[in-house]
Amino acid sequence: MKTAIIVISEAGIALAKTLEQELPESEIFSTGTDTDCHSISNLQEAVPEIFHKFDAIIFIGAMGICIRAIAPHIEDKHKDPAVVCVDSTGRYAVSVLSGHIGGANGLTRYVASILGAEPVITTRSDRTGLWALDTLGKKYGWQTVPAESSDMNHLITLFVDCKPTALLLDIRDEGTTQLEHTLPPHVDVFYKFEDMDLRKYDLLLLVTPFIYNTSDTPALYYVPPVLHMGVGLARDAHPVDTVITHLMDVVVQANMIPLAIRTVSSIEEKKDEPVLKLLAEAYQTRLYTASQLSKIEVPTPSEVVNKHMGTPSVSEASALLSSGGGPLLLPKQKGANFTVAIAMDAASVRQGHIEIVGAGPGDPELISVRGRHFLEEADLILYAGSLVPRELTECAKAGATIRSSASMTLEEQFALMKEFYDRGQLVVRLHTGDPCIYGAIQEQMNFFDQYGMHYHITPGISSFQAAAAALQSQFTIPERVQTIILTRGEGRTPMPEKEKLSLLARSQSTMCIFLSAGVVDQVQRELLEHYPPTTPVAACYHLTWKDERIFRGQLQDLAKIVNENHLTLTTMIVVGDAIDNREGLSRLYSHQFKHLFRK
């Protein structure tokens, strides 16, 4: 956002320079004599050019001067820049013009946070904490389209007046998840249109790629780009505009919204066809080889297409390939000189889903915001009971099933997760720390892949990071150690020969050793082959848990520390000179910034 900062009096220069430092692409304009600013002799003469050149304007000075300066140039909320006024003391930041569409409300909050000011926003939806319907779609990459005969201002009025509202979520993405988390009290959420009783609602909000008969109920569509259109073309299909019109007619006749099309795909041999070239100006295009297409199983293969193109299908196969394995919504349809098929993006299908969530090291407050959101909406939480505190699941919604996997076999775990998944429900598999580090998720993902189940991983804070925090140590120190090794001692699980501790110890890096308290004597012997006996060590038991215990010492005493304190597998062993290292400042600070530390 290109931002002009207009300083009306010398008193605002310091504020302007603070804002300039924090706002990329910002410039200061002043009627004063400061050489670091663009000089303007007359505000009335300078504002017209600034008004049309910049995306946002921040006035620093009196509100009256701001209003009089911009009033003659205001045209349309879709075109006008965002305008914010800050008083010369920096106490208030006021959203003046283009609050939603132009982004002035967001800019007001940002400016206020920079200056420690109070944001003043009068837009009703912002004051009530409701969604801003006119900008909601833009935030998530959806096209905003009022239904026929529905006026946008009227729709917004109904919503902020808290009239009964139905929300249809036909797809699943970041935006729909956020709407579910922030649902206002007067909004009911639905996942199937046929479940909605339109007689009960004054307003409909539909996040969907489909066209529905909303009768006379005011409706607002948010159209996500989740459709993949595959096209087969006759050679030199003409007239081009007519072919494209007929293609889109097929989409509409199938009750799909053309704005929902993300990609148009075909076979490489058609790359020079005028129809595809014109479609490429509006959509992402993807071209596949006959070999790629021939591997896709389709409902309506063609011997004729196979004879001429080397693949039984072009339109259906290319649509399915582009969708990443999503469902085929529209099987092949034939036109005069084209075929067309449409598939839904696999990642957007509202279906059963498994989220593998990193719980963090143990403290319930150290789970990520995203991880907690998944726990709050999960239908099943399957947590690693021997490693994850049950307190982490206390945020679950009413009616959620919460089970510990500690006493389950892998087969029992899979069966339970698949039961909920097959019902189209959300499963959270809750693992300690970060699930990708000694999380035992490989065999689970293999199972999910075998059954074509949709899953995703939410990372978590690992215990090695919790160890650094608990030890108040920076594990990488300039000119001393720049590498952190995450590993484990060799117990029942063999270590690859090239990853033996004695070999890794050669670097004398900061080493964080997982799951090795039971083989600590062997660990100590191997480390002493290269680390000095006096190397600092720490044995960290149940990091961030209520019974956390941390023992410091030297490497030569590591086994004694672990054994005498009866520490178990849930102990992180840290070795290296980075522990508790406070030896001076780096050259960067001690030389370049020495003057800052003088008394």
DSSP 403-429: EE-TT--HHHHHHHHHHHHHTT-EEEE
Residue 594 pLDDT more than 60? Answer: no
How is domain 351-460 classified at the architecture level of CATH? 3-Layer(aba) Sandwich (3.40)
pTM over 0.85: no
How many CB atoms sit inside 10 A of residue 346's CB? 17
Please state, for a pLDDT cut of 90, what percent of the chain lies above it: 78
Q: What is the pLDDT of residue 400?
A: 92
3-class state of residue 250 by DSSP: helix
Task: Look at phi and psi of residue 337 and say left if phi exceeds 0, alpha if psi is from -120 to 50, else beta.
Answer: alpha
3.40.50.1950, 3.40.50.1860, 3.30.950.10, 3.10.310.30: CATH of 464-573: 3.30.950.10
CATH topology of domain 1-124: Rossmann fold (3.40.50)
pLDDT at 149: 81
pLDDT of 593 over the 60 cut: no
Instruction: Kindly report the three-state secondary structure assignment for every residue of 93-141.
Output: EEEEECCCCCCHHHHHHHHHHHHCCEEECCCHHHHHCCCCHHHHHHHHC
Predicted pLDDT of residue 332: 96
Residue whose tokens read 């075109």: 79
Residue showing tokens 């038991």: 541
Query: 129 falls in which pLDDT band (50, 70, 90)?
Result: confident
Q: Is the pLDDT of residue 584 over 70?
A: no
Here the contacts of 581-589 (C-beta below 8 Å, separation 24 or greater) are 581/473, 581/474, 581/477, 581/480, 586/478, 586/479, 587/478, 587/479, 588/478
367 φ, ψ (degrees, to nearest 5):
-75, 150
Q: Decide if pLDDT at 215 tops 90.
A: no
pLDDT tens digits, 304-357: 999 999 999 999 999 999 999 899 999 999 998 999 999 999 989 988 999 999
* pLDDT score, position 563: 96
pLDDT tens digits for 430-453? Answer: 999 999 998 889 999 999 999 989
Would you place residue 492 in the very low, low, confident or very high pLDDT band (cuts 50, 70, 90)? confident
Residue 589 has pLDDT above 80, yes or no: no
Average pLDDT over the chain, rounded to whole? 92
**pLDDT, position 93:** 95
Bridge pairing between strands 536-541 and 549-554: antiparallel
pLDDT for residue 365 is more than 90: yes
* Look-up of token digits 């050019």: 49
Phi, psi dihedral angles at 261 (to 5 degrees): -75, 120
Higher pLDDT residue, 283 or 77? 283
pLDDT tens-place string over residues 19-45: 999 999 999 999 877 778 888 888 888
Closest by Cα among 292, 295, 163, 305 to 220: 163
DSSP state of 432: S
Check the CA dihedral 552-553-558-559 and report its sign: negative
Question: For residue 373, what is the enclosing H or E element?
Answer: helix 369-377
- Closest by Cα among 210, 230, 222, 227 to 261: 227
Task: For the chain, give the percent of residues with pLDDT over 70.
Answer: 97
175 CB neighbour count, 10 Å cutoff: 19
Provide the H-helix boundaries in 121-196.
124-128, 133-140, 152-160, 174-181
Say which residue the tokens 């910034």 belong to: 593
Break the chain into its structural domains and give their ranges.
1-124, 131-221, 225-346, 351-460, 464-573
Task: Give the per-residue pLDDT at 278.
Answer: 94
Which residues are CB-neighbours of 262 under 8 A, at least 6 positions away?
Answer: 225, 226, 227, 228, 283, 284, 322, 345
pLDDT in tens, 50-84: 999 999 999 999 999 999 999 999 998 778 999 99
Closest CA to 227 of 251, 192, 193: 251
- Rounded to whole angstroms, the Cα distance separating 289 from 554 reads 62
Burial class (CB in 10 A: 0-12, 13-18, 19+), 4: buried
What are the distances in angstroms from CA 518 to CA 2, 138, 511? 60, 54, 17
Average of per-residue pLDDT across 453-475: 95
Output the 3-class SS for 58-71: EEECCHHHHHHHHH
Q: Report d(CA 265, CA 488) in Å as an integer.
A: 48
**Which residues, at least 6 apart from 120, have a Cβ–Cβ distance to it below 8 Å?**
92, 93, 94, 95, 108
Q: Which superfamily is assigned to 225-346 in CATH?
A: CobE/GbiG C-terminal domain (3.30.420.180)
pLDDT value at residue 592: 56
Taken as a whole, the chain contains a residue count of 599
User: Peptide bond preceding 532: is omega within 30 degrees of 0, i.e. cis?
Assistant: no
- The CA angle 250-255-257, to the nearest 5 degrees, is 85
> Does the pLDDT value for residue 125 go beyond 80?
no
pLDDT > 90? residue 591: no
Sheet holding 484-488, edge to edge: 484-488, 510-514, 571-575, 536-541, 549-554
Mean pLDDT of 382-391: 89
Contact 318, 231 (CB under 8 A): yes
Which of helix, strand or coil describes residue 206?
strand
In tens, the pLDDT along 288-303 reads: 999 999 999 999 999 9
